[in-house]
Structure 1
Amino acid sequence: MFSEIFLFFTNLFVKFCKVIESSFSAFSPDFVKRTVISVLEKNGIGINGDKPSDIKVKDERFYKRVFAYGALGLGEAYMDGWWECDKLDEFGSRVFASSLFRYSLSFKLYHFLSFKLLNLQTKFKATEVTEKHYNIGNDLFQAFLDPTLNYSCGYWRNASDLNQAQIDKMDLIARKLKLEPGMRVLDIGCGWGSLCKYLAEKYKVSVVGCNISTEQIKFAREHCKDLDVEIREIDYRDLNDKFDRIVSVGMFEHVGEKNYSAYFQVANRCLTDDGIFLLHTIGVNHPDQPLVDPWADKYIFPNGVLPYYRNITKYTEGLFIIEDWHNFGYDYSLTLLAWYENFEKAWPTLRAKYGDDFYRMWKYYLLMASSGFRSRRFNLWQIVFSKHGLQGGYRSER
């Protein structure tokens, strides 16, 4: 009841802020246009220029929308076809470094009140991103991911293609976990079961994968058939078994700060005293960097939150010791570009089902996300934990 009342007044106040934002229309169109062009040019982006990162404005309303709504307006204007760019990833790399990539007053307020005071990643709310993103169709993901269906950053240290990068990522995880045959492994947020299958097949371990996406669970169970793998439809908060090793890849971004304590407590209670826990997650650089992008929050990952490193050290204090912290964020830029190339090749077979509006949204998502990692605004962390410090020390793997 309290949360419903709180959200009512929050939304009411956000509407008030939007009225304030709409007052931007009081500025003359020339002033708005000059301001947006000036910001773009300061970051090496021209209007109707010849450079690959220059943009071609198709609708003059573009300037007002970006002026008023910043990052959200920029993305929505692209989805509506108001501007084009030959190299969206190069454009994005420049935008991420500019003041153009700012957040509207209403979004900042909504983010502060909602994410800081409310829990938007409860068991019930967790299904929202599942339905909006992960259950949209396995055919889409099969079209642009690698054959192993890894929907997380690949490891490109020695790889020359996406498939090898994902295999190398899974092997890197296995080496960091120091697996031995017969060990019991938990995969929190197992996706389509790719890592479960790889670990069970190559390292002869027993794997339990947990997930709440019905589409992914159905696929993972078939994918791991006849292996020592169990795929459970269960929220991570309900896990109680004991495991020698725990791994969680690309799931922590959906946990939210209100649940960080519960998440790490679950990992602690499910891990044996001499076990190893590996967390693979996107992270941000600075505490004042917004942890939520308004466009991605609205269209791609509802209620997703990226952690800052202090979030991790704060909520693992007293539960875990950090044995190793590996940052290879630039590799995610390469992974996303490879996904985009696959998506483009497969689009003729997907178009009838998903439509042109979806194409522009998905293209913007993949290429702008790649830009975020390319500009180093975002990181990719693999963090290795133990409960008490491993006897004999931990030898890092790369």
Structure 2
Amino acid sequence: MAHAASRLTGLVEELFGAPLPLRVRAWDGSESGPPGTPVLVVRHRRALRRLLWQPDELGLVRGWVAGELDVEGDLYTALELLTCVVPDDGAPAGTSRKLSWPRALLDPGLRAAVRGLIGLAGPLPPPAPPAEEVRRRSGSSHTKRRDRQAISHHYDVGNAFYEKVLGPSMVYSCAYWEAGGTLEEAQRAKLDLVCRKLALRPGQRLLEVGCGWGSMAMHAAAEYGARVTGVTLSREQAAHARKRIADAGLTDLIDIRVQDYRDVDDGPYDAISSIGMAEHVGSVRYQEYAERLHRLLVPGGRLLNHQIARRPERDESAYQVDTFIDHYVFPDGELSPVGATVGALETAGFEVRDVESIREHYALTLRRWVANLEDGWLTAVRHSSPGRARVWRLYMAASALAFECNRIGVNQIMAVKTAPNGSSGLPLRTRTWTAD
């Protein structure tokens, strides 16, 4: 086992057909790889066994969540460098190869590398997945019961944990940044942007689908005089939101419910906001989602749908949900291309009047959340678990890079339920473009 780092580096480079751009420190204290780069710390051989039994992103993440893998140095740089080693299937030929055990075992050269990796990892099977991994759900996806379980997995992990990550605003969606502003100022700007796009006025009824910890409801009520109904499937979110609303003296204007959006039947509403919720709906339910929101609006009512989008595949049938996100972050969550979302809204009867991409804003937001988590690491761990904190740090950092590299985006879609005479109620120009 002497010099495990150099043996591991050589085997990985042989398997992937590309040099490992990170320095590696193995469980025996040995190091190998280019100096001056972030260090991939392999604390235990169990991490290798996880990869041998699950040779993909999920195997790697299990080692990370369990604390068997770590990074010393800048995490963003490490993730960017690792992406070059394990590319997407569409990566240019000659960069590196996607690892596949069946193919590796058919190739005599790779077969020897796999045997070497087995020898280095040890013969025992890997331990069970970390406790933070969601248990396999039974039955069809996006039933009401299964959606409740998925939402609980992500959001019912402790309000104190989210307070440390999100900061005082308690807004868990993309902020809207001006130069030099704070996270709280950027989140307030986003909430105000939504209210202005919805043209809220005193006394109007606003339905907030996925109300989180109540920040949007409180802003709409306090600043615009709207009467707000907020729905969420998270009991912890609802309890926290109700307390904040009571403390602010807004209980007469805001009703927070633990309720599925499919069960809302007390329309019509003058406006609907859906901020960071539609990613949980699922492609099998999306048309139903759009049609239900359309029915809940008055003629001339507006919908603001704020949603993360992925890039379209040439063959959409080949799209696969990210295994890390599905097993550890957002169970059953799905991203759709923005064009598919616009199409579903139009099919439901909406007139889509404005689509604003705020992709770069989300990268800035995520980097602030990661900084909050790192600065308050011990507190965050105390309010959740070491594994949970490691999940959130990895997923937020990786997501920030995905937004920066244009692998995913986020859009605010403003749509109108036009009146029977075709009137939208909108001015001729809804916003003005500038060179900046």
TM-score range, shorter chain: 0.7 to 0.9
1:54 offset after TM fit, Å?
5.7
What residue identity is the alignment partner of 1:390? Answer: S
1:30 offset after TM fit, Å?
8.6
1:101 offset after TM fit, Å?
5.0
Gaps of 5+ in 2: 1-6, 25-32, 90-97, 102-135
1:347 offset after TM fit, Å?
2.2
Q: Secondary structure at the match of 2:336?
A: coil
Aligned match of 2:235: 214
Change in Cα spacing, 1:346 to 1:382, as seen in structure 2 (3 Å) is same
Change in Cα spacing, 1:75 to 1:270, as seen in structure 2 (3 Å) is same
Q: Secondary structure at the match of 1:317?
A: helix
Aligned match of 1:91: 78
Change in Cα spacing, 1:267 to 1:353, as seen in structure 2 (3 Å) is closer
1:270 offset after TM fit, Å?
0.8
What residue identity is the alignment partner of 1:367? Answer: A
Change in Cα spacing, 1:354 to 1:229, as seen in structure 2 (3 Å) is closer
Contact 1:119 1:258 in 2 (8 A): no
Aligned match of 2:56: 70
1:231 offset after TM fit, Å?
0.9
Contact 2:23 2:37 in 1 (8 A): no
CA distance in 2, matches of 1:46, 1:384: 47
CA offsets per residue over residues 299-323 of structure 1, 9 Å max, x none?
1111111111232133223311111
Change in Cα spacing, 1:258 to 1:342, as seen in structure 2 (3 Å) is same
Aligned match of 1:82: 69
Aligned match of 1:338: 368
Aligned match of 2:298: 272
CA offsets per residue over residues 71-117 of structure 1, 9 Å max, x none?
222322322423424222233345457643569999xxxxxxx99xx
The answer to whether structure 1 residue 100 and structure 2 residue 87 are counterparts is yes
Work out which of the residue numbers 254, 260, 267 in structure 2 matches 1:229: 254
Larger radius of gyration: 2
TM-score of the superposed pair, with normalisation by structure 1: 0.81
Aligned match of 1:285: 311
CA distance in 2, matches of 1:208, 1:397: 31
CA distance in 1, matches of 2:195, 2:169: 16
1:119 offset after TM fit, Å?
4.3
Aligned match of 2:431: 396
The answer to whether structure 1 residue 169 and structure 2 residue 199 are counterparts is no
CA distance in 2, matches of 1:296, 1:38: 27
Aligned match of 1:125: 146
CA distance in 2, matches of 1:385, 1:206: 20
CA distance in 2, matches of 1:269, 1:201: 27
Aligned match of 2:377: 347
1:124-143 equivalence runs, <5 A = 124-143=145-164
CA distance in 1, matches of 2:243, 2:19: 49
CA distance in 1, matches of 2:405, 2:332: 24
Change in Cα spacing, 1:282 to 1:97, as seen in structure 2 (3 Å) is farther
What residue identity is the alignment partner of 1:377? Answer: R
1:136 offset after TM fit, Å?
1.1
1:52 offset after TM fit, Å?
4.6
Aligned match of 1:12: none
What residue identity is the alignment partner of 1:253? Answer: E
Q: Secondary structure at the match of 1:157?
A: coil
Aligned match of 1:111: none
TM-score of the superposed pair, with normalisation by structure 2: 0.74
CA offsets per residue over residues 162-221 of structure 1, 9 Å max, x none?
111111111111121122222111100000110000110011111111111111111111
Change in Cα spacing, 1:105 to 1:316, as seen in structure 2 (3 Å) is farther
Gaps of 5+ in 1: 1-27, 107-113
1:242 offset after TM fit, Å?
0.8
CA distance in 2, matches of 1:313, 1:83: 40
Higher relative contact order (CA 8 A, sep 6+): 1
1:336 offset after TM fit, Å?
1.3
CA distance in 1, matches of 2:262, 2:189: 30
Deviates more, 1:335-344 or 1:66-75: 66-75
1:1-398 equivalence runs, <5 A = 33-35=12-14, 38-39=17-18, 41=20, 48-53=33-38, 55-58=40-43, 69-80=55-66, 81-96=68-83, 99-101=86-88, 119-225=140-246, 226-227=249-250, 228-240=253-265, 241-287=267-313, 288=316, 290=319, 292-318=321-347, 319-388=349-418, 390-391=424-425, 392-393=427-428, 395-396=430-431
CA distance in 1, matches of 2:154, 2:303: 27
CA distance in 1, matches of 2:187, 2:153: 25
1:60 offset after TM fit, Å?
6.4
Identity of aligned residues (%): 28
Give the count of matched residue pairs. Answer: 360
What residue identity is the alignment partner of 1:92? Answer: L
Cα RMSD between the aligned structures? 3.0
Higher fraction of helix: 1
Change in Cα spacing, 1:230 to 1:96, as seen in structure 2 (3 Å) is farther
CA distance in 1, matches of 2:84, 2:428: 40
Change in Cα spacing, 1:38 to 1:302, as seen in structure 2 (3 Å) is same
Aligned match of 1:22: none
1:284 offset after TM fit, Å?
0.4
Aligned match of 1:21: none
CA distance in 1, matches of 2:182, 2:35: 30
Contact 2:76 2:401 in 1 (8 A): yes
CA distance in 2, matches of 1:268, 1:299: 33
Aligned match of 2:93: none
CA distance in 2, matches of 1:301, 1:130: 8
Contact 2:346 2:352 in 1 (8 A): no
Change in Cα spacing, 1:352 to 1:150, as seen in structure 2 (3 Å) is closer
